[in-house]
Amino acid sequence: MPYKEPAPINLDSESPFESMMERFEHAARLLNLDRGLFEFLKVPERQIIVAIPIQMDDGSVQVFEGYRVIHSIARGPSKGGIRFAPDITLDEMKALAAWMTWKCAVVNLPFGGAKGGVVCDPAVLTPVQLEKIARRYTANLLDTFGPEKDIPAPDLNTNEQIMAWVMDTYSMHARHTVTSVVTGKPKILGGSLGRREATGRGCMIVTKEALDRLRIPVNGATVAVQGFGNVGSMSAFFLHGLGCKIIAISDVSGGYYNPDGIDIPRAIDHARQQRSLRGFAGGESITNEELLELPCDVLLPAAREDQITAENAGRIKAKIICEGANGPTTAHADPILESRGILVIPDILANAGGVTVSYFEWVQDRMGYFWPLEQVNDGLERIIREGFHDVFDTAEQYHVSLRIGAYILAIDRVAQAVKVRGIYA
């Protein structure tokens, strides 16, 4: 039975899941996706909620809530990060898990998508408390995690150390060391060279390909970067190394604009020492909102979801938007940007460098043999460039934006896997 258009979603108050579903449904309609496959692919395979009781430093017990959503395992074990934040929701986890499914399929990795998190504020927790949360969260999900089942990774407010605690907890229960159960680990525990900078490097690769497609010279191309965490700072660093002029950067403390170009190595040193860009002397102070609307060749949002909306999309002056963050553009903003001729490199392609090198880490852990950095970077560039051109060709074939082209490509690959495997009943 062919795909039938569903009732419209109310996007007056757009959630990440609704934005994802709007794009998914558009792509499914163009693919004439079978209705049964549509229903199968839109629903997460598992949604898990766990209680995480820990003893605080004063002896009291506090219970945190944790989530793990497995969206798909059609193409292989599920893959996705764990985030710690006070405002995460199950709805957000569902959207991010689905995005991971499409992201892995876009760059043709043998993974499905997952996402997890704990509702907590790491800023007010001690390292001991964070370790207790990470270990209890892992213990509650021992039946879910596994190198052949579900492989977590770092995400918002989690890092190599937390992944080490996850790996150790899982290994203690398995009674042997299982390095391949997580990625994004410290190198001494089986982490891959090149993993930390992989997402930023991937953003650089797709930005260069887009500039070439639009015949904009890479050397001297102006770039504004919103967000100066790992993804934003590494993207800025690599683009700066190509000869691009980074005219603006920002983080939660505010933004800085310099039309003559910002000294990115100096900004990275400042952010590392001060733990933010606050007080950076390399540019004029601007807000994060003002940064988004600067005239530039490339805008690279690398902060959080829903930064470019229907309200401000009409004021965006960039020629290219490279989505370093997950979901920085709402579904209502998409047609506005498209009507203005702005080329959007969608998140499921633009920031796939991280999961690509996570795949390399998983492979290396399973082999017990580790690659030199040059081999990691060469493999990353090959996969991301192929993904970019596959998406571009699909978009041209269907006469759609790169975002919908990416969804069409990803959904078709996952649907083909489901068709070949069949439905077990």
Answer yes or no: is pLDDT of 25 > 60. Answer: yes
Residue 243 has phi, psi (to 5 degrees) of: 105, 0
Model pLDDT, residue 202: 98
Answer yes or no: is pLDDT of 8 > 50. Answer: no
Of the pLDDT bands very low, low, confident and very high (cuts 50, 70, 90), residue 4 is: very low
Q: Which residue has the higher pLDDT, 234 or 23?
A: 234
Give CA separation, 101 vs 70, 110, 203, 346, in Å. 9, 10, 19, 14
Answer yes or no: is pLDDT of 9 > 80. Answer: no
- Name all domains of the chain by residue range, CATH numbers in brackets: 43-176 (3.40.50.10860), 198-350 (3.40.50.720)
Give CA separation, 410 vs 23, 66, 204, 247, 394, in Å. 12, 28, 22, 34, 10
- The rounded percent of the chain whose pLDDT value lies above 70 is 96
Distance CA 228, CA 213 (A): 27
3-state SS class at 272: helix
Of the pLDDT bands very low, low, confident and very high (cuts 50, 70, 90), residue 31 is: very high
Model pLDDT, residue 305: 82
Of the pLDDT bands very low, low, confident and very high (cuts 50, 70, 90), residue 326 is: confident
Answer yes or no: is pLDDT of 210 > 50. Answer: yes
Answer yes or no: is pLDDT of 198 > 60. Answer: yes
Catalytic residue among 115, 185, 245, 319: 115
Answer yes or no: is pLDDT of 6 > 70. Answer: no
Yes or no: say if 361 and 192 are a contact pair by the CB < 8 Å rule. yes
Cα angle 195-196-202, degrees, rounded to a multiple of 5: 75
The whole-chain average pLDDT of the chain stands at: 94
pLDDT in tens, 105-154: 999 999 999 999 999 999 999 999 999 999 999 999 999 999 999 999 99
Which contiguous run of DSSP H or E holds residue 413?
A: helix 402-421
Average pLDDT over residues 263-290: 95
Model pLDDT, residue 14: 59
Total H helices, total E strands in the chain: 14, 12
Pick from 94-98, 171-175, 352-356, 395-399: least confident: 94-98
Q: Which residue has the higher pLDDT, 336 or 17?
A: 336
Cα angle 400-103-415, degrees, rounded to a multiple of 5: 75
Strand partners, 144: none
Answer yes or no: is pLDDT of 68 > 80. Answer: yes
Q: Which amino acid is at 1?
A: M
Answer yes or no: is pLDDT of 10 > 70. Answer: no
Instruction: Kindly state the DSSP code that residue 184 receives in the 8-state scheme.
Output: S
Model pLDDT, residue 95: 86
Tell me, yes or no, if 115 is annotated catalytic.
yes
Strand partners, 226: 250, 301
Yes or no: say if 21 and 399 are a contact pair by the CB < 8 Å rule. no
Answer yes or no: is pLDDT of 18 > 90. Answer: no
Answer yes or no: is pLDDT of 15 > 60. Answer: yes
- Residue showing tokens 């949360």: 133
Q: How many CB atoms lie within 10 A of CB 252?
A: 13
Q: Which residue has the higher pLDDT, 10 or 124?
A: 124
Distance CA 173, CA 85 (A): 27
- Residue showing tokens 């790169």: 402
pLDDT in tens, 365-378: 999 999 999 999 99
Give the sign of the dihedral formed by CA 181, CA 198, CA 16, CA 8: negative
Strand partners, 397: none
